[in-house]
Amino acid sequence: MNLIRMMSSSREKHRTTVCSLVVLLAAPGLLLAQQQADSSYPPPAFAPLSDRYTFDVDALTKNGAARTLSEVLTSQVPGLLVIPGGGLNGGGSQVRFAGVRSLISDLPPLILLDAVRIDAHEDDSQLTVAGPGPSRLDDIPIEDVQSIEVLEGPAATAIYGPGAAAGVILIHSKAARTGAIRVHGFAEGAVRAIPERWPANYGGVDLDNPDSLLRTGGCSLVVEAAGQCVQDGLQSFNPLVARNPFGAAPRRQLGLSAAGGPRWGAFRLSGNLDADAAAYDVPAVTWSDDYHRWNVGGGATLHPWRNVEIGASATQISSNLRLPIYEPVLAALMGPSDSTGFSWGQAFQSPGTQKLDRTLASVQVLATPLRWLAIQGTFGLDDIGQHERNLVSTLLTTGDRVVRDRTFALKLTAANRISSGTRLTSAIGVERLQNRENAAFFQGSGGAYTSQQSWLDRRWLSVYGVERVGIRDRFFVTGTLRHDDLHEYSPGDQTNPSLAVDWILRTERLGALGRLAMHGAYGKASHAFPQNLQVVFVAPFQPTPAPLKPDRTREWQVGADAAGLSGRWHANVSFYDLRSQALQYLGVSLPSGGPSFVYAPGAVISNRGVTAALSANLIDRPGWGWTTQLSLWGNRNRIVRGNPATIAVSGIRYTGQREQAGYPAGGYWAWPITYADTNGDGIISGNEISYATTPPSQVWAGTPYPTQGAALTSSWRVGPRWHISAMLDYRAGQTLFNQIANLRCLYPICRDRYDPTTPLSRQANALGASVMPPAYFEAADYLKLRELAIVFDVSERLAAHFGARAASIMFGGRDLATWTSYSGADPETGSYGRSAGTPMMVGDFATVPLPRSWTVRVRLSY
């Protein structure tokens, strides 16, 4: 079966296509070169007026309590969802845009650091971790980041190549600067507390029963109705509250940076030290810290000639992580209803440690040999060496992952004036991308062992062009075209276009409405090809499926952008229509026994929605200021066309999800239960409930993905030195399968199986937990107080006592309160999807909620 293979015979065709594209895109620029150059018009960034969000990370870290890039991204962009994995060290976050765009390639947005692709793996561990694992995005030191740009849909991302259909996040590092050398340092300390929102374990006791099980908690309502016991009372025990295993888990961080230099060259050096104490505080945890990290980096900008600029940067990151331990939480939630003999010791078995060494480097050269021509070259690398180890008694388990990413890029930009009111800018670029990964797993004891190893070598050769026409600086048309040749896939080429129109209806002027612009765009982009499709099977006598291609998404988008009152308010709104051509599962039964799956094209996924943002400077006086930002979004997701057969999203922890045309992707389906207390004893017995277990009898139970959200941030300035900020985060429209509640009633240890005051409907749901009735699929809307921070700018006179030029003190908290009707520990962390890269399974399975954290940070500048 050759669904994935190289086709050397088509190489000449690919070369011809690429060469034709180069000539086509270069022609306008060559023609323009014969005309009079316009030296006053610099090469633009080709940024549309909408569908792109930029925010200042440096300001957010100085005035807030965010500590990682994932935390900085949270609630900053409408429709960008950052789902944290939980409150344990090493539990990373998932980053996705609203609306499922792929059924089997559910991957995060493309991440670029200073125009270089970097590794952003989620759940990055070769060892078995019972919950969310590390995120490589959070390796990047937040103190070295200046700003972030977020591009949402293919209309804005088509130019970035494979993987851009999931969105693009552009991270810009702090640059070297000329002038006197300035030194900045900070010290930070934080404490955390896991909220005690845990259910108790219940049992019923019959003190006189000869059966020891019934005397010690096994007298349930069903057993009592059968006449085997008579309850003398309930007993309950909540290990996670009565014997709280979590500690304050202090975090410490130190950082130092210096920047400066002459006009012909400048530099920036930085370094950080991080340490996170163990999340658990029990005798079984013998180590003091879960996490250590150090990083050192530097950058330089040189101007060897008047029209040449060379920029270079490099960062070395080294960390040691004790992988998060989720088993104690599961052991407690599925534990006894009697505290006698309970001990944490047996639950604490470390999954191992992870040592990481990572090198990020880039070199960029910008030359302007002619007034109308700019040439830019980029080389970048991201090297990761990851080693994991776990020793339990004599059983040794190791995992290794080595990554080598390389980016080579060259771009030429020509800007010219066609007439007094018309300007045309052309750009053409070539990229060569390479991604090599080697993963190995070993487990053995004595002479017996097992091992696995995988290799991945992906290479892209890409050429792209951009044309932009500007008429009287008010009407702009921008077109892009990118062709990618993916060496290892067949067919291995793809071409993606985009077209954007920007019309400035009203230029900046005084008044309530100072500026108004409209925006419309169309674009196509491809998803990254899923890595889990290296081997597939086809049943005999079945027709050969069509060749596989990466999922592809096209977008239509319209929007408006407005500002007024001399820039005191700014608003934008965008409406989008996304349609994804996606791979899907086809169930096939093999003669050898057991079902297998084949992947084939044909599924169509629709996402339609709106995003909006409003910022306003409400008060701006010498002694008082108030600014606010509000963002809103909504999304409607549907599988428009798919496999006629119902395909369940199955796995070890089945969550009731399936893919069905006409409904949201990965939605929940449940079997309804009917019941009646026929004997009137107030107890629902097994013969008093009924349910059907065939798929046609299932009912829609909701989507695990939020369909709407909002974020509100307000900042106040009190006097010349005090700054206060607060952020509220709201998400709604999603349902969450309370998987742990379902299992607790199945085994049983939930209250509804023992308490005689339990309503009949809840008794029926608890007794029928084995079929996962609708009651366990709960509304998971929530409102969170995401952040509250106070910053005090120390007077220059007081700072001078420490030899500093300036100083500030920040005291802030994150994830301080949650308002929700969801009965589980945390609807946000419970929504973290499992099995990344395949259909996501979303279920709250012994989730550790986000901790309330309080941080004190002191900054000094010299």
| Amino acid 488: pLDDT | 61
| Alpha carbons 480 and 591: distance in angstroms, whole number | 49
Non-local (6+) Cβ contacts of 454 within 8 A are 437, 438, 439, 440
The DSSP string of 598-664 is: EEEEEEEEEEEEEEEEEEEEEEEETTEEEEEEEEEEEEEEEEEE--SS-EE---TT--SEEE-TTS-
When pLDDT is cut at 50, 70 and 90, the band that residue 492 belongs to is low
Cβ density class 696-726: b for 16+ within 10 Å, e for less: eebeebbbbbbbbbbbbbebbbeeeeebbbb
Among 11, 103, 133, 159, which Cα is nearest to 551's? 103
Q: How far is CA 815 from CA 143, 507, 826, in A?
A: 21, 41, 11
| Amino acid 474: pLDDT | 92
| Amino acid 586: pLDDT | 62
| Amino acid 585: pLDDT | 66
When pLDDT is cut at 50, 70 and 90, the band that residue 860 belongs to is very high
For residues 274-288, average pLDDT: 90
Give the strand pairing for 595-621 and 569-589: antiparallel
The per-residue pLDDT for range 632-676, each reduced to its tens digit, is 999 999 999 876 655 666 554 588 898 888 999 999 999 999 999
Structure tokens at 89: 């060290």
When pLDDT is cut at 50, 70 and 90, the band that residue 419 belongs to is confident
Q: Where would I find the H helices in 217-315?
A: 221-225, 239-242
Is a pLDDT exceeding 50 seen at residue 19? Answer: no
| Amino acid 599: pLDDT | 66
Beta bridge partners of 430: 410, 463
The answer to whether the pTM exceeds 0.75 is yes
Is a pLDDT exceeding 90 seen at residue 218? Answer: yes
- Tell which wins on pLDDT, 8 or 241: 241
For residues 739-758, average pLDDT: 96
Non-local (6+) Cβ contacts of 724 within 8 A are 715, 716, 718, 789, 790, 791
The per-residue pLDDT for range 579-638, each reduced to its tens digit, is 998 877 665 444 444 444 566 678 899 999 999 999 999 999 988 999 999 999 999 999
**Beta carbons of 126 and 355 less than 8 angstroms apart:** no
Q: Fold for 8-195+244-259+290-390+402-425+434-444+463-666+703-734+780-861, please state it.
A: Maltoporin; Chain A (2.40.170)
| Amino acid 210: pLDDT | 95
| Amino acid 530: pLDDT | 63
| Alpha carbons 466 and 481: distance in angstroms, whole number | 7
Mean model confidence pLDDT for the chain: 88
Q: Provide the 3-class DSSP secondary structure of residue 703.
A: coil
Question: N- to C-terminal Cα distance for the chain?
Answer: 65
For residues 420-433, average pLDDT: 93
**Beta carbons of 845 and 55 less than 8 angstroms apart:** no
Query: Could you give the count of Cα atoms lying within 13 Å of 840 in the half-sphere of its Cβ?
Result: 28
**Beta carbons of 759 and 752 less than 8 angstroms apart:** no
| Amino acid 539: pLDDT | 46
The amino acid at 740: I
Among 490, 410, 569, which Cα is nearest to 11's? 490
When pLDDT is cut at 50, 70 and 90, the band that residue 33 belongs to is very low
Q: Is 264 exposed, middle or buried (0-12, 13-18, 19+ CB in 10 A)?
A: exposed
| Amino acid 527: pLDDT | 87
| Alpha carbons 853 and 158: distance in angstroms, whole number | 39
| Alpha carbons 711 and 632: distance in angstroms, whole number | 7
Among 528, 517, 637, 575, which Cα is nearest to 51's? 575
| Alpha carbons 143 and 372: distance in angstroms, whole number | 36
Q: At what angle do helices 760-767 and 739-746 cross, to 10 degrees?
A: 90
For residues 120-139, average pLDDT: 93
| Alpha carbons 817 and 728: distance in angstroms, whole number | 10
The per-residue pLDDT for range 307-363, each reduced to its tens digit, is 999 999 999 999 999 999 999 999 999 999 999 888 898 788 888 999 999 999 999
Is a pLDDT exceeding 80 seen at residue 529? Answer: no
For residues 128-150, average pLDDT: 94
Q: Where would I find the H helices in 74-202?
A: 154-157
| Amino acid 697: pLDDT | 80
The per-residue pLDDT for range 450-481, each reduced to its tens digit, is 999 988 888 889 999 999 999 998 999 999 99
Neighbours of 109 (CB within 10 A): 24
For residues 694-719, average pLDDT: 92
Is a pLDDT exceeding 60 seen at residue 30? Answer: no
Q: How far is CA 139 from CA 69, 107, 167, 685, in A?
A: 9, 18, 20, 54
Is a pLDDT exceeding 90 seen at residue 160? Answer: yes
Is a pLDDT exceeding 50 seen at residue 837? Answer: no
Q: Provide the 3-class DSSP secondary structure of residue 278.
A: coil
What does residue 245 show for φ and ψ, rounded to 5 degrees? Answer: -85, -10
Neighbours of 760 (CB within 10 A): 14
| Amino acid 249: pLDDT | 86
Structure tokens at 276: 């996170």
When pLDDT is cut at 50, 70 and 90, the band that residue 541 belongs to is low
| Amino acid 458: pLDDT | 87
Beta bridge partners of 378: 364, 409
Among 498, 496, 426, which Cα is nearest to 468's? 426
**Beta carbons of 757 and 744 less than 8 angstroms apart:** no
The per-residue pLDDT for range 375-415, each reduced to its tens digit, is 999 999 999 999 999 998 889 999 999 999 999 999 999 98
Is a pLDDT exceeding 70 seen at residue 43? Answer: no
Q: Is 179 exposed, middle or buried (0-12, 13-18, 19+ CB in 10 A)?
A: exposed
- Which of 140-154, 258-272, 308-322, 338-352 is the least confident region? 338-352
For residues 521-544, average pLDDT: 65
Is a pLDDT exceeding 50 seen at residue 535? Answer: no
| Alpha carbons 31 and 44: distance in angstroms, whole number | 19
Give the strand pairing for 448-471 and 422-445: antiparallel
| Amino acid 4: pLDDT | 28
